Structure 1
Amino acid sequence: MSTEFRAPPSTTALHIPDIPDDLSLPQFFLDYSHPARPLRPSGVPWLIEDGTGRAIGFDELRLRTASLANALSIKWNIIENDVVCVFSPNHVDYIVCIHATHRLGAIVTPANPGYTADELVHQLETTKAALVLVYADFLPTALAAAKLVGLSEDRIVVIEPSAASPFNGKHETLSSLVSLGSSKPQNFVERKLRPGEAKTKVAFYSFSSGTTGKPKAVVIPHYAFTANILQTAAHHGLNDPSVKKKQLNPGDVSVAGTLSCFDNIPAEIGAVLPFFHIYGLVVVLHYMLFAGLSLVVIPKFNFTEFLESIVKYKITHLCLVPPQIVLLCKHPAVKNYDLSHVKWCISGAAPLSGAILKSVRKVLPNAAIGQGYGMTETVTTVAFMSARQKMGVVGSAGQIIPGNIARVVRPDGTLCKEGEQGELLITGPSMALGYLNNEQATKETFVDGWVRTGDEVVIRNFELFVVDRLKEIIKVKGFQVAPAELEGHLLTHPAVADACVVGIADDYSGEVPLAFIVLRADILKRVAANPREGEKLKAALKKHVADNKIAYKRLTGGVHFIDAIPKNPSGKILRRVLETRRSNCQQSSVLPNCRA
């Protein structure tokens, strides 16, 4: 049996499209018509501004990009290898900021607008950013961070002023720069890359969503970015005549939203598919536009308003993360909206249980539903639900996309065969170059052309099953317990809004599972009013697991109610944030920010 895993033969019959190795991202995206790119019908907009309904086409995007690039050159002499930080939620000009920076040969570092000043300082210092483009609402944080790193205030550009923001008129705005750039002769010469140079020419310093230590800057070249777009296009058969009923078609409508504040849902599950995260940056922003879809851009929204936008704009394609999928299954407002026009729904960034996958089928009855898998270090997509599937295989994160090669490795370094469990290693044309100024971390993750994902997986019948993070596996009497499995099961209980399972030390078993539970708002009120109700519910949740799981997977470590499960912007649980609370669980039933 093979010890290396590739895409199924059915998806590689037309081989991977040629990947240009002499084009920057904007040159590939705005100047070049690749044969794998579907033809966008006339009148189909590229972007739609959610709040106003304003449609933005190719000509406007291309002109704004050229004008902003010219202004950045005139005003600050931004040149090759300078770094520009984009500190903003999703916005229709986000892609303009990216491509304008790249026109000058400079590097983009997207930053989470939810950062504190100290967190932003880390990113600005690591990348040595020369300019910050900031959404007005986050200007105070940008100014505080800029002061700490010695970046002058005149190098802070406001993307969009607003009446509610603290913008004081002292800074250049994106609109004023576009006007300046369009009124002046071109001040720069855009460089043509040499053959092969795109493989090393840096496009992004994207920060990884690690759960320990400070985030690391992943060095992403232009070639890797365009490669992943073309690999995914081949996987979906965008221009493949053998795929009769395509999942993505020019003229379809997708959506991008960020900084969500869901009704009665903890804010920690917000920031769904933001452009600063690799999933939103590659798959949602660039790949969907490449495929010919229109993209509805939502800077800020709550869940019910998100549902309204899906209906208003007849959004057909949803790229979600598990917290949103759970809301679709459980939020009472969903029944008020007709979502029958949705024809494609993909969940990524964290494992989704089979039970929840089946539940969302009832909410989106006409949609192809499945999962994808990727990471910043692989410049997103490693695996995707097959273009020929209406429903992804339960528990599968999809099939390896064309061009990628996977290995599954045992702890002793030997290679697993099909169906055996081990750590996933990936290689292919879209791998990042390493971590910026972090040689040790680079050596640990990027090994002889392979990326060590740190994920425990099984590959069977071309399907990738992510068991869990290696360092998050709970060992009970020598048996491995995957937290994601128990979390998915707990989410099927009607009282549970969110869940996180961790292991706590036990003298007899080594470790035992402990569940942190976020209750639905109505249930929480009942429990707060009557502590006995809380104890009954804890017993019911333990029984919910015990009735359906083998003995060593039972919640022997207990159940604790908590206000919110800490998560990163892509929806991955930050288990390490719960480490101190976990140790407290062994001493007290009452936790900080918990309801016992």
Structure 2
Amino acid sequence: MSDKVTEFVVPFGTLPHIPDDVTLPQFILDSWHPTRPVNKHGNPVLIEESTGRGVHLSEVRARTFGLANEMKARWNIGEGQVLCIFSSNHVDYPIAVWATHRLGGIVTTANPNYTADELLYQLDLTKASVVFTFSGSIAVAEDACRQAGISADRIAILDSPEGYTGPYPTLETLIQEGLSKHPQFVERRLEPGEGKTKLALLNFSSGTTGRPKAVAIPHYAVLANVIQMAYYGQANENYGTATRYRPGQVVLAVLPFYHIYGLIVVMHFYIFAGFSLVVMPRFTLEGMLNNVQRYRINHLLLVPPMIVLLAKNPIVKKYDLTSVTMCMSGAAPLSAEVTRQFCERLPNSAIGQGYGMTELATTITFPRIDMHIATMGSGGQLLQGNVCRVLKPDGTYATYNEPGELLIKGPTVALCYLNNEQATKETFLYFDGKPDRWVRTGDEVMFNERAEIFVLDRLKEIMKVRGFQVAPAELEGHLLEHPDVGDACVVGVPDEYSGELPLAFIVPSHDAQERIKQDPAETDKIKLALMKHVTDHKVHYKKLAGGVYFVDSIPKNPSGKLLRRFLRDKARELKAQQATVEKARL
């Protein structure tokens, strides 16, 4: 390797052995690892928010077996078959994931707020054969399954709503039927090394072009990330004097399990570390505050919009939040000002940020274990086993405190984008003629001498809205289907609560321009129609909350590529002008 290449690694510790011959449920439920603390507290693994019902480890194992047994008997689920979980959080969500894995199947998790079109796209791409949905999403699931060719007898309801008499079995029914049968399957042990290639998850990540892509994540990558977090966090008492990650504590599972942050960090790592997960189906501020007070929550894993509410909403002062000792923010940068305001509201709580992405399954940095308030602006310190380079625009590699694009390799790198060879080649790279796969993140970062990352900007075009990825190209393609749109460019504009909001620059079609000439009132009608066009077909965080602006042309380079940066600057100017006008009215 050239001496000119600076590689960033955490300056202490060596990552322990990562088993490559076990599946996720075998690792979490059945086996031992030196980074795992001995839990002497007897606390439940899962707690149902509404009732307080606790589910202990022995019951988790039994319910996982029962569900797997019935899935085999009823649907003959086996090696490589895909199950889609289209649901809000529920105490049986982990059961559904691990039961699928017991059978050798693959799980793809879908946002329960998706429209039928969005769910259909995911079902078609992953070739899912069974769908578990939530009682509140049945109609959408039925519509998407019908179009995908999934028969109605392969739909089940994850929750058990009171008085439910519908045609679909609930998971509770499936579990009890499975427990009443003799074993219908023999769970196999993976061959040595097989865990590195055997798919566990197909999670979706937005790219710079087109619709979201399915990230192929093997079992090994997830359990490697769990080990990384446990080792760095000193979860095992033998590792030192840190007390942040200790068995018997309680974490609020409010982040959605369909998102990689909630799925791997909350569901897998925190169960591995011996915490009880209070499972919250949907986020509301009052609901979260009630749960913190009722269940004496110790750890909060949140995204910046949630922390903004904790820091600024006056209702927070009405609740006892003294039990909270740690808050981790992820999915988008958290400002120093909001961090300071949070610390005033919850002085007992440490706070820090982590950085990760779906293609890295999941976290590559974690909040400093030795700091109560992490370094302001830092996205956390590298976890052991990760190696980073920072590529400058001139093609050379940056050293400490120099900005550039983040490239990373480590044990958690995903395999590829499913059925998307071009995107895979653009993101998963090979250097120096070696077999290591590097991920090109598209984020502009820099590192200090303590291996703390500072995320400066996104070089890729993805927006982050409330922590969720939104691809401009997806919205542009949808807008161009509307007859009133001649050309379109979508950019993100800064927003204190959401991080960014999608804003569309539109060149009206010839027909639309003629109507506007005849009647200027058509301008507002067309803008509202375009916003509705997106709202009706896309999940709520993709709506054009930043607005619609008409322009004469969309700036492009000679090859036709959108010059998005110019319009981002224009959008900021428009928002600044709007803020000035609104301030003058007050």
Question: May I ask how many residue pairs the two structures share in their alignment?
Answer: 497
Deviation at 1:390, TM superposition (A): 1.0
In the alignment, structure 1 residue 98 sits paired with structure 2 residue 97: yes
Structure 1 equivalent of residue 9 of structure 2 = 6
Structure 2 equivalent of residue 133 of structure 1 = 132
Structure 2 equivalent of residue 263 of structure 1 = none
Distance in 2 of aligned mates of 1:457 and 1:426: 12
Give the conservation status (yes or no) of the 8 Å contact 2:501–2:545.
Answer: no
Distance in 2 of aligned mates of 1:18 and 1:115: 39
Query: C-alpha offsets along residues 343-377 of structure 1, whole Å, 9 cap, x if unaligned?
Result: 00010000011111111111110111110000000
In the alignment, structure 1 residue 16 sits paired with structure 2 residue 19: no
Give the conservation status (yes or no) of the 8 Å contact 2:133–2:157.
Answer: yes
In the alignment, structure 1 residue 407 sits paired with structure 2 residue 400: no
Structure 1 equivalent of residue 341 of structure 2 = 359
Q: Given the superposition, is the C-alpha separation of residues 328 and 582 from structure 1 closer, same or farther in structure 2, using an over 3 Å criterion?
A: farther
Deviation at 1:504, TM superposition (A): 11
SS in 2 for 1:381: coil
Deviation at 1:248, TM superposition (A): 1.1
Structure 1 equivalent of residue 429 of structure 2 = 447
Distance in 1 of aligned mates of 2:236 and 2:84: 35
Structure 2 equivalent of residue 268 of structure 1 = none
Aligned partner letter, 2:240: V
Structure 1 equivalent of residue 171 of structure 2 = 174
36-45 or 342-351: bigger deviation: 36-45
Deviation at 1:580, TM superposition (A): 4.8
Q: What does 1:137-148 correspond to in 2, within 5 Å?
A: 137-148=136-147
Distance in 2 of aligned mates of 1:467 and 1:279: 21
Distance in 1 of aligned mates of 2:189 and 2:230: 25
Deviation at 1:251, TM superposition (A): 0.8
Structure 1 equivalent of residue 318 of structure 2 = 336
Of 455, 458, 482, 1:466 maps to 455
Q: Given the superposition, is the C-alpha separation of residues 197 and 50 from structure 1 closer, same or farther in structure 2, using an over 3 Å criterion?
A: same
Distance in 1 of aligned mates of 2:403 and 2:543: 22
Q: Given the superposition, is the C-alpha separation of residues 344 and 34 from structure 1 closer, same or farther in structure 2, using an over 3 Å criterion?
A: same
Structure 2 equivalent of residue 519 of structure 1 = none
Give the conservation status (yes or no) of the 8 Å contact 1:377–1:432.
Answer: yes
Deviation at 1:152, TM superposition (A): 0.6
Distance in 2 of aligned mates of 1:192 and 1:340: 45
Aligned partner letter, 2:202: Y
Q: TM-score, normalised by structure 2?
A: 0.79
SS in 1 for 2:364: strand
Give the conservation status (yes or no) of the 8 Å contact 1:2–1:418.
Answer: no
SS in 2 for 1:84: strand
Distance in 1 of aligned mates of 2:339 and 2:212: 31
Distance in 2 of aligned mates of 1:361 and 1:19: 36
Structure 2 equivalent of residue 34 of structure 1 = 33
SS in 1 for 2:166: coil
Distance in 2 of aligned mates of 1:211 and 1:308: 39
Of 206, 226, 231, 2:228 maps to 231
Distance in 1 of aligned mates of 2:244 and 2:296: 16
Give the conservation status (yes or no) of the 8 Å contact 2:503–2:544.
Answer: no
Query: C-alpha offsets along residues 43-65 of structure 1, whole Å, 9 cap, x if unaligned?
Result: 21111111000011001100000
Structure 1 equivalent of residue 292 of structure 2 = 310
Give the conservation status (yes or no) of the 8 Å contact 1:212–1:576.
Answer: no
Aligned partner letter, 2:241: K
Of 298, 302, 305, 1:320 maps to 302
Give the conservation status (yes or no) of the 8 Å contact 2:398–2:404.
Answer: yes
Structure 1 equivalent of residue 249 of structure 2 = 252
Deviation at 1:471, TM superposition (A): 3.7
Query: C-alpha offsets along residues 553-575 of structure 1, whole Å, 9 cap, x if unaligned?
Result: xxxxxxxxx99xx9xx999x869
RMSD over aligned CA atoms reads 3.1
Distance in 2 of aligned mates of 1:199 and 1:580: 46
Q: TM-score, normalised by structure 1?
A: 0.78
Distance in 1 of aligned mates of 2:76 and 2:103: 10
Q: What does 1:3-402 correspond to in 2, within 5 Å?
A: 3-9=6-12, 12=13, 15-163=14-162, 168-210=165-207, 213-239=210-236, 241=238, 243-257=240-254, 273-402=255-384
Deviation at 1:577, TM superposition (A): 7.6
Q: Given the superposition, is the C-alpha separation of residues 504 and 107 from structure 1 closer, same or farther in structure 2, using an over 3 Å criterion?
A: closer
Deviation at 1:169, TM superposition (A): 2.2
Query: C-alpha offsets along residues 508-566 of structure 1, whole Å, 9 cap, x if unaligned?
Result: xxxxxxxxxxxxxxxxxxxxxxxxxxxxxxxxxxxxxxxxxxxxxxxxxxxxxx99xx9
Distance in 2 of aligned mates of 1:412 and 1:2: 14
SS in 2 for 1:287: helix
Give the conservation status (yes or no) of the 8 Å contact 1:504–1:583.
Answer: no
SS in 2 for 1:66: helix
Q: Given the superposition, is the C-alpha separation of residues 473 and 200 from structure 1 closer, same or farther in structure 2, using an over 3 Å criterion?
A: closer
Deviation at 1:330, TM superposition (A): 0.9
Distance in 2 of aligned mates of 1:24 and 1:129: 20
Give the conservation status (yes or no) of the 8 Å contact 1:254–1:318.
Answer: yes
| Percent of paired sites with the same residue | 48
Distance in 2 of aligned mates of 1:367 and 1:418: 30
Give the conservation status (yes or no) of the 8 Å contact 1:243–1:388.
Answer: no
SS in 1 for 2:356: strand
Distance in 2 of aligned mates of 1:173 and 1:583: 52
Query: C-alpha offsets along residues 61-100 of structure 1, whole Å, 9 cap, x if unaligned?
Result: 0000001001000001011000000111110000000000
Deviation at 1:194, TM superposition (A): 0.4
Q: Given the superposition, is the C-alpha separation of residues 581 and 379 from structure 1 closer, same or farther in structure 2, using an over 3 Å criterion?
A: farther
Give the conservation status (yes or no) of the 8 Å contact 2:78–2:105.
Answer: yes
Query: C-alpha offsets along residues 392-416 of structure 1, whole Å, 9 cap, x if unaligned?
Result: 1000000110000011001243211
79-88 or 235-244: bigger deviation: 235-244
SS in 2 for 1:456: strand
Deviation at 1:176, TM superposition (A): 1.2
Deviation at 1:460, TM superposition (A): 0.9
Distance in 2 of aligned mates of 1:291 and 1:84: 27
Distance in 2 of aligned mates of 1:139 and 1:48: 25
Unaligned runs of 5+ in 1: 258-272, 475-482, 492-496, 506-561
Aligned partner letter, 1:178: I
Q: Given the superposition, is the C-alpha separation of residues 162 and 466 from structure 1 closer, same or farther in structure 2, using an over 3 Å criterion?
A: same
Distance in 1 of aligned mates of 2:116 and 2:358: 23
Aligned partner letter, 1:25: L
SS in 2 for 1:21: coil
Query: C-alpha offsets along residues 220-245 of structure 1, whole Å, 9 cap, x if unaligned?
Result: 00000000000111111112645313
Deviation at 1:341, TM superposition (A): 1.8
Distance in 1 of aligned mates of 2:104 and 2:360: 22
Unaligned runs of 5+ in 2: 431-436, 464-490, 506-530, 553-566
SS in 1 for 2:454: strand
Aligned partner letter, 1:228: N
Q: Given the superposition, is the C-alpha separation of residues 447 and 155 from structure 1 closer, same or farther in structure 2, using an over 3 Å criterion?
A: same
